[in-house]
Chains A and B, each alone.
Chain A
Amino acid sequence: MALKTLHPGGKTQSGRDRAERKLAFRMTAPSLVIMALVAAVPIGYAIWLSLNQYSVRTAGLSRFVGLENYINALASQEWWAAFGQTFLFAGLSVSLELILGTAMALLLNLAFKGRAVLRTVVLLPYAIITVVSAITWQTMFQPHMGLVTNVLSTLGLPGGDVVWLGEHGYAMAVIVMADVWKTTPFAALIILAGLQVISAETYEAAELDGASKWQTFVNITLPLLRPAIVLAAIFRTMDALRVFDLPFVLTRGANGTESMSMLAYTQLRENRLVGEGSALSILTFLTVMVVSVIYVRFAGGNIRDVAKEEQ
């Protein structure tokens, strides 16, 4: 958006500017203060907690241990297992969501009877809270009771008599499916919005040049869609790396599904290890931040463009 001066040629321009900046500051300050108090302060305190060891037996008894909690965490198998599983989950679910989301967006962009119905249906899982999404997929895969397990065993296919949530690999598959089901619509709608701003003329030109539908898609649609896809990827990856609800409800972190957030939660709440739990939550925080910086640096300038526009 081009910045227009609000009061062109006014003789008290600089005075007005100053008043406007003052107002802008006053209007943003409350939000910034709240966010600082409920985000920055706790994270700062978490860093302090993570440098101490707290007695499990005597409340209030603690000693400063420096980086010991971090060293222990980084030397532990649990942390690296949770780290790997979180990234496996994020990689699988986000790639599926982007592929399916792009396909759904292309579909929703076509003019056909029933498009409105399809759009409504696609949006429905958005109404589902994540915990319910987890329960829904639990009912689908429950041994003997589940639709998927029943269909598989009726057809004599493998997987029918597997306790899906009870086995490595299978449990992860259910969690990925629950996530894909709930969040693909989000990816699809972002990508659809990107699709709708590609002008019809672009396609007409390609058609005149005799490009096939596939060529048009690969050479025109995909490159023009890239910003939208990257944006969906950023949003979805950041969410997936924080995954907690799905493994909590479906497996409580068992069978190769413990995520970084779950591990920190378990140490903190179940095992009452405040120092260790805090160190793990700070490590989770740092991991997510590093990934977001990498995304913004290398995957595209979307966020920077948005930021630049504000200037």
Chain B
Amino acid sequence: MSTLIAERPTPELATARKAPKRRLRGESKLHPLVWVFVVAVMAFSLIPFYWLVNTSLKKGASLSQGELFPSQPTLENYLVVFQNPEFLLALRNSVIIAFVTTTVALVFASFAAYALARLKMRRKAMILTLILSVTTFPAIAIAAPMFSIWREIGLYDTLLGLIIPKLTFALPLAIYTLTSFFKEIPRELEESAYMDGATPFVAFRKVILPLAVPGLATTAILVFISVWNEFLLAVTLTTSPEARPVPVAIAFFSGTSEFDQPLGTISAASVIITVPLVILVLVCQKRIVSGMTAGAVKG
């Protein structure tokens, strides 16, 4: 099986193969103005990061004067964050919510995506349009009634009460991305399974799923990031630190005292939750790019 996985063309490679000459165009003789633009793009992307880290390392006068380089960098803000039980609870909640939602969404979505990518089906176009249209629903239209329903049946301010509505947006994202990954798997492989007498479901389990591991991983990353990022449902459907995920906790983060400028601590908390995601994005950048653009452009 491992050789088969290696043979599976990633979307990146597929594009590269289609236009092999593109990479050579304009090589090495860039106009100086283009370099100016490269530097500008880099600066626009990186300077805000620098300033967030810079702010998180300052306290007192050095913070309120906005020093370009912290004269006395301190990790005190980070200590404050890690000693805050509410922040730690929020981290725990976010991890649970993101893992459970991603897993459940992936299981159901892989079934649906296989049917949509491969099987004969009535009203397929309509079903796909319907699924796509769910992604454009404003979360407030679901959060508002959920707020009332959950308070009546006791799911308000619970982790489960957040996981369920988050599935609404995780599922279509997962189905859409997986469908385009499944379509890229060569049909010949399934056909040989059919020759051996496999049913479509067996072909799905024994041929498609193992081959789709990279696609599943990519989808998992995209869904995980989107669930981790989600804010509106989280803020509407929770009220206590026991259920609040990270984005909400940070939005309500206040300093150690009335008179302390809380921006240093808030920045530290922001850096803490950003670092793991930055690492994830750096390690998986190829996957993320291929997942984001999967199905966007058909060659």
Contact = CB atoms under 8 A, between A and B. Distances in A.
A119 B263 CA distance: 30
Contacts of A92: none
A281 B167 contact: no
Given A27-B112, A111-B27, A118 B42 contact: yes
A35 interface: yes
A311 B124 contact: yes
B251 A46 contact: no
Interface residues of B, number: 117
Contacts of B132: 303, 306
Contact of B288 (A123, A248, A268): A123
Interface string A123-152: 111111111100111111010111101100
B75 to A, nearest CB: 17
Interface string B109-124: 1011011100111101
Contacts of A111: 23-28
Given A119-B285, A149-B66, A265-B236, A23 B119 contact: yes
Interface string A283-298: 0110011001000000
Nearest to A177: B48
A274 B251 contact: no
B38 A118 contact: yes
B168 interface: yes
Nearest to B253: A135
B28 A27 contact: no
Interface string B260-284: 0101001100100110011011100
A278 B142 contact: no
A49 B263 contact: no
A197 B19 CA distance: 7
B16 to A, nearest CB: 8
B200 A49 contact: no
A206 to B, nearest CB: 12
Interface in A106-125: 107, 109-114, 118-125
A148 to B, nearest CB: 9
A139 B52 contact: yes
Contacts of B49: 124, 136
B128 A264 contact: no
B25 A242 contact: no
B51 A136 contact: yes
Contacts of A17: 120
A43 B145 contact: yes
Interface in A223-277: 227-228, 231, 238, 241-242, 244-245, 248-249, 260-261, 264-265, 268-269, 274, 277
Interface stretch (B1-9, B79-87, B183-191): B183-191
- Determine the main DSSP class of A at the interface with B: helix
Report the contact-size class of chain A (Cβ under 8 Å from the partner): 35 or more
Given A46-B145, A307-B129, A23 B66 contact: no
Contact of B47 (A30, A104, A147): A147
Contacts of A309: 298
Interface string A87-116: 000000000000000011001011111100
A123 B49 CA distance: 13
Contacts of A200: 19, 21-22, 25
A135 B52 contact: yes
A27 B114 contact: yes
B138 A203 contact: no
A61 interface: no
A300 to B, nearest CB: 13
Interface of A: 1, 4, 6-7, 17, 19-21, 23-25, 27-28, 30-32, 34-35, 38-39, 42-43, 45-46, 49, 103-104, 107, 109-114, 118-132, 135-140, 142, 144-147, 149-150, 181, 186, 189-190, 192-194, 196-200, 203, 227-228, 231, 238, 241-242, 244-245, 248-249, 260-261, 264-265, 268-269, 274, 277-278, 281-282, 284-285, 288-289, 292, 303, 305-311
